[in-house]
Copies of this chain bind each other. A is one copy, B any other.
Amino acid sequence: MLSKACKYAIRSMLYLAIHADGTKKIGVNKIADDLKTPQPFLAKLLQQLQRDKLVSSMKGPKGGFFLDEKNKENSVWDIVMSIDGAAKFDQCFLGLSKCSDENPCPVHSIAFPFKQRILEDFRDKTIVQWAGEIKNSGKVISLKDIEV
């Protein structure tokens, strides 16, 4: 459903919301290492997000990425739009050219409510809200250092 690129992007934005702020920026190296994503690829994605004003950055020593107050009020949906584009979620689970209640595919009745539910979460919650929930409820955005 989401591209790898988009998954990396979402996780790194949540990571920044949890670990960084205006006084503590984090470099792409550390982010990539902690999330176990390819470093130069993630750098590209963060550049893209920066261009779309979803993340803030500073060059130079002590530089890195972080979320300013505005960035924090954006939604995960904004990230999806920036990286994958809006179309990703409209698609029919079985590949019909259009997903609709009028002409549902055989799994529409299961797939559509799910898509709606995720979309709602992506659209309606801010990045900080996501970050808060993650901190309070044992959810994880990386399996680094977790016993397998």
Contacts and interface: CB of A to CB of B under 8 A. Distances in A.
Interface in A88-103: 93-98, 103
A117 B110 contact: yes
A95 B130 contact: no
B1 A139 contact: no
Contacts of A36: 97
Contact of A95 (B7, B95, B108): B7
A148 B99 CA distance: 12
Contacts of A139: 104-106, 108
A2 B105 CA distance: 15
A14 interface: yes
A4 interface: yes
A102 to B, nearest CB: 9
A121 interface: yes
B2 A148 contact: no
Contact of A141 (B94, B110, B121): B94
Interface string A105-122: 111101100100110010
17 contacts: A1-B93, A2-B93, A2-B94, A7-B95, A10-B94, A11-B94, A98-B148, A103-B146, A104-B139, A105-B139, A105-B141, A106-B130, A106-B133, A106-B141, A107-B118, A110-B117, A114-B114
